[in-house]
Amino acid sequence: MALTSLPFAIFAIITGIIYFVYPKKEQRWVILLIASCFFYLYNSFRYAAFIVVTILTIYFAAVKMDDISVETRKTVREKKAEWSKEEKKAFKDAAAGRKKKILALTLILNFGILFLLKYFNFMSGSIAALVGVSPESAPQIRLLLPLGISFYTFIATGYLIDVYRETVKPERNLFKFALFVSFFPQIIQGPISQYGKLHDQLIEPHDLEWINFKQGIMNITWGLFKKLVIADCSWKAIKAYYANGGINGSGDFAGYGGTMVLFITLLYALQLYTDFSGGIDISRGICRVLGIDLEVNFRQPYFSRSISEYWRRWHISLGAWMKNYVFYPIAMSEFSKRVTRAIASSSFGKTPVGKHISKVFMTAVASFIVFLFVGIWHGANSKYIAFGVWNGLIIMLSAMLGPVYAGSRKALHINENAAWWKLFQMLRTFVIVLVGYVFDIADNFTNAMQMMYLTLTDQNVGAFLSELPSLGMRKVEYLAVMCSAMLVLYISIRLEQTKIDTPAELLERRSGLIQWICLFGLIMLILLIGAYGPAYDPAEFVYMQF
Amino acid sequence: MEKLMEILKELRPDVDFEKEKSLVTGGILDSFDIISLVGMLNDEYDITIRPANLVPENFNSAEAMLELIEKLQDEE
């Protein structure tokens, strides 16, 4: 049941109606839980046991950790007069140790499941190849992935770490917690919601409000437009390119030239953004109708002026998760402190360059590790690791070379606020992003290198135009995708200028008539040129199998 | 407060820390700044700031940082 399918629309509408007419308001969250269970079982019945294991283990671990904290505080208070400072500290440390053990075991179990299902085959094949056995004869697990396993594992483990850090109180009602982990609008492709931001909203009852309904519907329509008109049409061309052998690992690209490779890369950038952000718009729109504010996951990422900014604007919730639970713990660890001190106290650390390096070295290493994880999170393939390494290297180098860049900007008298400079930075960042995408598109690492080589050495517009018909798209379809992309670009610029999150809020400033015209205009566009219906095989959301 | 202001000025001379109230949520301080700042505060005030303390509310303004520092000093 894809987010853009008719059955899903019917399911969402029925859920909404029952939610709002259910008379016992304080129990309305139960409707959401039942809907989420139904959605999960309908889509991933055979693998539902995995999400149940995650819900149960994390629920009980969180409650147990909180019990230990509460009990410890109580005992320390009671024994305040009797115990010495050392005794109190020893008691607290013992309790912290028990909490840490529970946390570690639960994390190992849950990430272990994710790792086994997602990466076992890749690892086992790689190890087999390393020891000289053919990868085909290595042991393999033949399983499809449980729906949304990367998302719900991250959502649930993030909650557990928050409870461990005592930044949130645990949910003691198992069913309320189950709703937080399995909430249907976010299970397919995120966002990776933070407990503190979402949970209470799910449990509180909401009434149907006109403004929420209107803006929610507008966001859903905008998401459908991006997904059905732009993403799915572009996907048709990309799929044809694959089918024609454009990326076959042999390095000859079925005769396609470098301009075509560049075109496919650009089309992929458009497709990936509209597919993923369109899906998020639909999820956020549904939540908005229900009166729930789901986290923003995209903020015009292609307008970023550096790669680190790009990762704060693309899949924001994944970046935030990585920052909170991987980056900070590594950068603030005792080990990092020791390394920083060692560099600072060495003779190199006393030089101006050494001073800077000692400050940023471990932070840069931590961000490199984060991007290695981001790469691996995207899939079990060497090309995704290369994708992570590429992004990590750029961020690491820009941190280490920060003063060099600042110095050269000064020497060249570049005004950092000049429009041309900002535009140059955007373009430069976009090119770096595209290089990352090439790793995504290619079959493997070698293939990606060949693609980049071809793009750089074989630009020929004439050849490209003669190759274009082989992608199976009609001229009118190219025109439709192009015009729609222009509309998305225009809206993105307006959102950027106004610092507003959604087109619906942007439209709120216009008259009612214009709002209706825009809504119906979008619906007409979707109906006329969208890729939908039973005859069309819809592209699954790119992030659905994550 | 003066000592803290000095540290902040050393970290980012380009930011007006007296006025700014959304240093983290407004994207003025990035995670690299935060890590440098944490190192400086730990050394200067002899405290241990943990990942759990790195919520935006604790770093959005100089006042919030001072509050966190005082809280951690009490706990030590």
Q: How far is B51 from chain A (nearest CA, A)?
A: 6
3-state SS of A321-350 is: HHHHHHHHHHHCCHHHHHHHHHHHHCCHHH
**Model confidence pLDDT, tens digit, residues A252-283:** 777 788 899 999 999 999 999 999 999 999 99
Domain membership of residue B56 (yes or no) is yes
- The series of mean pLDDT values per 10 residues for chain A, 546 residues long, is 86 96 94 96 90 97 96 91 87 94 97 87 70 62 78 96 94 97 91 94 94 93 92 89 79 81 94 93 96 94 92 92 93 90 87 85 91 84 86 89 84 86 94 91 84 89 88 85 92 92 87 86 80 51 50
Q: How far is A452 from chain B (nearest CA, A)?
A: 31
Domain membership of residue B15 (yes or no) is no
Distance of CA A275 to the CA centre of its chain: 12
Is A167 within 8 Å of B50 when comparing Cβ atoms? no
Token digits for A463? 């050849």
pLDDT at residue A252 in the model:
74
Flag whether residue B52 sits within 8 Å of chain A, measured between CB atoms: yes
Flag whether residue B49 sits within 8 Å of chain A, measured between CB atoms: yes
Pairs of CB atoms within 8 A across A/B: 39
Closest CB from B27, B35, B55 relative to A332: B35
CB A531 within 8 A of CB A238: no
Task: Determine the Cα–Cα distance for residues A407 and A491; give it in Å rounded to an integer.
Answer: 36
Choose among A482, A511, A513, A506: nearest CA to A492: A506
Within 13 Å of residue B17, how many CA atoms lie on the same side as its CB? 22
Q: Which residues are CB-neighbours of A231 under 8 A, at least 6 positions away?
A: A270, A271, A274, A275, A278, A539
Q: How far is B2 from chain A (nearest CA, A)?
A: 23
Token digits for A26? 């304080």
Flag whether residue A338 sits within 8 Å of chain B, measured between CB atoms: no
pTM, two decimals, is: 0.88
Q: Model ipTM? A: 0.87
pLDDT at residue A129 in the model:
66
Q: How far is B67 from chain A (nearest CA, A)?
A: 17
Domain membership of residue B13 (yes or no) is no
Domain membership of residue B16 (yes or no) is no
Choose among A42, A282, A7, A53: nearest CA to A152: A53
CB A218 within 8 A of CB A414: no
* Domain range summary for chain A, segments of one domain joined by +: 6-207, 208-298+464-546, 300-441
Task: Determine the Cα–Cα distance for residues A206 and A208; give it in Å rounded to an integer.
Answer: 7
CB A249 within 8 A of CB A300: no
Is B39 within 8 Å of A166 when comparing Cβ atoms? no
Flag whether residue A312 sits within 8 Å of chain B, measured between CB atoms: yes
pLDDT at residue A442 in the model:
85
CB A429 within 8 A of CB A309: yes
Q: Which residues are CB-neighbours of A515 under 8 A, at least 6 positions away?
A: A214, A218, A507, A508
Contacts of B54 in chain A (CB under 8 A): 324, 328
Q: Which of A88, A313, A363, A368 to mutate to test the interface with B (most CBs of B within 10 A)?
A: A363
DSSP string, B6-18: HHHHHH-TTS-TT
Which residue of chain A has the CA closest to B36? Answer: A359
Is A363 within 8 Å of B27 when comparing Cβ atoms? no
Task: Determine the Cα–Cα distance for residues A445 and A136; give it in Å rounded to an integer.
Answer: 20
Is A329 within 8 Å of B51 when comparing Cβ atoms? yes
Terminal C-alpha separation, chain A: 16
Q: Which of B10, B54, B55, B75 to mutate to test the interface with A (most CBs of A within 10 A)?
A: B54
Length of chain B as a residue count = 76
Stated as kind and residue range, the H or E segment containing A39 is helix A28-44
Task: Determine the Cα–Cα distance for residues A208 and A156; give it in Å rounded to an integer.
Answer: 29
Q: How far is B35 from chain A (nearest CA, A)?
A: 7
Is A308 within 8 Å of B30 when comparing Cβ atoms? yes
Which residue of chain B has the CA closest to A341? Answer: B39
Flag whether residue B72 sits within 8 Å of chain A, measured between CB atoms: no
Q: Which residue range is the domain that position B25 belongs to? A: 2-8+21-75
Choose among A164, A181, A185: nearest CA to A173: A181
| CATH number of the domain bearing residue B25 | 1.10.1200
pLDDT at residue A535 in the model:
44
Task: Determine the Cα–Cα distance for residues A71 and A300; give it in Å rounded to an integer.
Answer: 47
For residue A128, count other CB atoms closer than 10 A to its CB.
Answer: 17
pLDDT at residue A546 in the model:
47
Per the listing, tokens 């904290």 go with A69
Task: Determine the Cα–Cα distance for residues A280 and A503; give it in Å rounded to an integer.
Answer: 13
pLDDT at residue A118 in the model:
81
Domain membership of residue B64 (yes or no) is yes
Domain membership of residue B36 (yes or no) is yes
Choose among A488, A487, A485: nearest CA to A300: A488
pLDDT at residue B1 in the model:
79
Is B35 within 8 Å of A308 when comparing Cβ atoms? no
Which residue of chain A has the CA closest to B40? Answer: A359
Total tally of structural domains belonging to chain B: 1
**Model confidence pLDDT, tens digit, residues A503-546:** 888 888 888 888 888 888 888 888 877 765 444 555 555 555 44
Task: Determine the Cα–Cα distance for residues A99 and A104; give it in Å rounded to an integer.
Answer: 9
Task: Determine the Cα–Cα distance for residues A74 and A70; give it in Å rounded to an integer.
Answer: 6
For residue A313, count other CB atoms closer than 10 A to its CB.
Answer: 18
Is A360 within 8 Å of B36 when comparing Cβ atoms? yes
What average pLDDT does this structure show over B27-53? 88
Contacts of B27 in chain A (CB under 8 A): 312
